[in-house]
Structure 1
Amino acid sequence: MTEQNTRLGIILMIVTTFIFAMQDGISRHLAGEYNVLMVVMIRYWFFALFVIALAARQSGGLRAATRSRFPAIQAFRGLLLVAEICVMVLGFVALGLVESHAIFTCYPLLVAALSGPVLGEKVGWRRWTAIGIGFVGVLIILQPGIAVFSPAALLPLLSAFMFALYGLLTRYVARGDAAAVSFFWTGTVGAVAMTVVGIWFWEPMTGADWGWMALLCCTAAAGHWCLIKAYEVAEASAVQPFAFLQLVFASALGITVFGETLELNVAVGAALVVGAGLFTLWRQRVASQRGR
């Protein structure tokens, strides 16, 4: 990869995190007015159309996109991601964007911790130390035994665990399936599952909120397109650290638009989590380079 490609990949990742942060803000607004399952269902309808259109343009078309060496795992991945999104959006409504994202940023640490039992990868003592420090940061955010603990704080933590498992399973199926296949299964399985569940919670929406819903669908497609392009032009290890900027963008949105506050314990805890996460990503890059 050239330096120019890496720079472009970093720019695309920063744009991706900004778009996803805006998407989270729109999701928070809509889920505060309507049932979460309905909001995610409509979003997934558009997402499914996007992945189908993308697959149709690839070599082999839709037939190639449906062929997987791991159909059961691919289906489970799709269900896991859509469930994770529902849980996280519930967290946005219950806790706000700032605290939800501060807790959710621990997911790279969960990926590192679970990579051993799920993928059989070796995790050294340095990364285990970083994982421990990161979870101290999570405890600082949650303040168990100090402040009145909110059970809703478990929502973004559960979401982080589900997203970490989804990411590990994505790496597992990548051993036999192309990225386009995984992307297709993610969108279509999620859309079918949400339609089965969400259609029972349909509520009439105002014209203005249909506009926000249309924007939510567009940001979902645009964000995933930028993410795909970022990984196409640059190595994942070079651009992944910039994914933490979503915490910055989402927090700024929560404070300026939704009137949230950034408490000291959340800022300190998030700094520890992000620092530990960046270290684990760096150690993972070092380990992969040694493996080569």
Structure 2
Amino acid sequence: MADAARRFAGNLDAVGAEARRARLKGVGLMLAALACFCCLDTTAKILNERMDTVQVVWARYLFHFLLTLPFINPWNTPGLMRTARPGLQVGRALMLLACTACNFVALIFLQLDETISITFTTPFLVAILAGPILGEWVGPRRMAAILVGFLGVLIVTRPGLGGLHWAAGIAFLGCVAYALYLVSTRVLARHDPTTTTLFYSGLVGVVVMTPAAPFFWTWPSAVDWGLMAMLGALGGLGHFLLIAAYRLAPAAVLAPFIYCQLIGMIALGYVVFGDVPTGWTLAGASVVIASGLYLLMRERGAKPVAETIARPD
């Protein structure tokens, strides 16, 4: 009896260790995806100065679709377009499109660090939605860390103190769409392969944006074509990594790590556009980084998903 109990306890420990490794892999994939998104937003801001935003959004989805098509298509992946949740697949892709459009419009008027700081309201929205929709309830310590990170965002943006442009409202609408996109990504990860979800992400964007693109067309230079292709490549790779991350870890665990994107945005904004971060931005970034480091340490010692849901930490 005692031997059986020890074996059972050992099996539980093995399951717990495997769950922790899966979560940490998910965090790693999430961080790689965010690096792609930093470069994507930088490229989009450059293109916004050369052509209409509608054309930029169209290019992001067209090249995403074309560059992934040789590898992910219905011919070499039988059943690729078969989905258990067709409505949710289309809805998720539309949320991603709405998020992209709002973000690209905001980038016309805002610095990279300002835009991404507003995007950081997303983890709080995801934490609220993940419980009732996914059954992934956030414990009090993680919620406190999320709120501390959000406090860092408020330090950066200083709402009500003249720190925000009207385009911040457009960026916030993009955050709402992004939160719904992240939660639906987690739901779809339980039903459809990563390749199916990635395929629909590009397909829906192309179908919706192509009819509108000719009305806002500016003929690109050779360099612009290259930047447009880069935009699609970064989007496709970033979302492939994001979907893979959400197959390994809960939405409420991964979402707070988007705070790390602030570091990349500040660096690229300075190097590419000469945007010098203010003292408020640096102070807020310090709070954000501290919150992210705490969350990472929590994940290294976290219990498996089933335990954290049953008994939140």
Q: Give your verdict on TM over 0.5.
A: yes
Structure 1 counterpart of 2:69 = 52
Deviations 1:29-59 (A, max 9, x none): 1012211111111221121224433333897
How far did residue 236 of structure 1 move?
Answer: 4.1
How far did residue 88 of structure 1 move?
Answer: 1.0
Query: TM (normalized to structure 1)?
Result: 0.81
Residue pair 2:115, 2:168 contacting (<8 A) in 1 also: yes
Inter-partner Cα distance in structure 2 for 1:167 and 1:4 = 21
Greater shift after overlay, 107-116 or 31-40? 107-116
Structure 2 counterpart of 1:35 = 52
- Consecutive unaligned residues of structure 1, counting only runs of 5 or more, are none
Inter-partner Cα distance in structure 1 for 2:142 and 2:258 = 19
Inter-partner Cα distance in structure 1 for 2:32 and 2:194 = 21
Q: Does 2:227 align with 1:212? A: yes
How far did residue 272 of structure 1 move?
Answer: 3.2
Structure 2 counterpart of 1:127 = 142
Query: TM (normalized to structure 2)?
Result: 0.76
Q: Secondary structure at the match of 1:54?
A: coil
- The aligned amino acid for 2:278 is E
Q: Does 2:42 align with 1:22? A: no
Residue pair 1:21, 1:249 contacting (<8 A) in 2 also: yes
Alignment partner for residue 89 of structure 2, among 62, 71, 74?
74
TM alignment of 1:236-251, pairs within 5 A? 236=249, 244-251=259-266
Deviations 1:209-255 (A, max 9, x none): 22322332333344445556x749x9447988765443222211101
Greater shift after overlay, 96-105 or 212-221? 212-221
Alignment partner for residue 267 of structure 2, among 252, 269, 276?
252
Structure 2 counterpart of 1:88 = 103
Percent identity of equivalent pairs: 33
- The aligned amino acid for 1:23 is L
How far did residue 78 of structure 1 move?
Answer: 0.6
Greater shift after overlay, 247-256 or 123-132? 123-132
Equivalent pairs counted in the alignment come to: 288
- The aligned amino acid for 2:128 is A
Distance 1:67 1:222, change over 3 A: closer
Distance 1:110 1:268, change over 3 A: farther
Residue pair 1:109, 1:277 contacting (<8 A) in 2 also: no
Inter-partner Cα distance in structure 2 for 1:131 and 1:223 = 23
- Consecutive unaligned residues of structure 2, counting only runs of 5 or more, are 1-17
Structure 1 counterpart of 2:177 = 162
TM alignment of 1:198-237, pairs within 5 A? 198-224=213-239, 231=245, 235-236=248-249
- The aligned amino acid for 2:64 is F
Q: Does 2:125 align with 1:110? A: yes
Structure 2 counterpart of 1:266 = 281
Q: Secondary structure at the match of 1:53?
A: coil
Deviations 1:108-158 (A, max 9, x none): 232112212332433333334334333333332222232354222233333
Q: Does 2:212 align with 1:197? A: yes
Inter-partner Cα distance in structure 1 for 2:120 and 2:161 = 22
Inter-partner Cα distance in structure 1 for 2:62 and 2:210 = 8
How far did residue 85 of structure 1 move?
Answer: 0.8
Inter-partner Cα distance in structure 2 for 1:23 and 1:145 = 30
Greater shift after overlay, 133-142 or 95-104? 133-142
Distance 1:178 1:190, change over 3 A: same
Residue pair 1:105, 1:274 contacting (<8 A) in 2 also: no
- The aligned amino acid for 2:221 is T
Greater shift after overlay, 12-21 or 157-166? 12-21
Structure 1 counterpart of 2:307 = 290
Inter-partner Cα distance in structure 1 for 2:278 and 2:92 = 35
> Higher helix share goes to which structure?
1
* Larger-gyration structure (1/2): 2
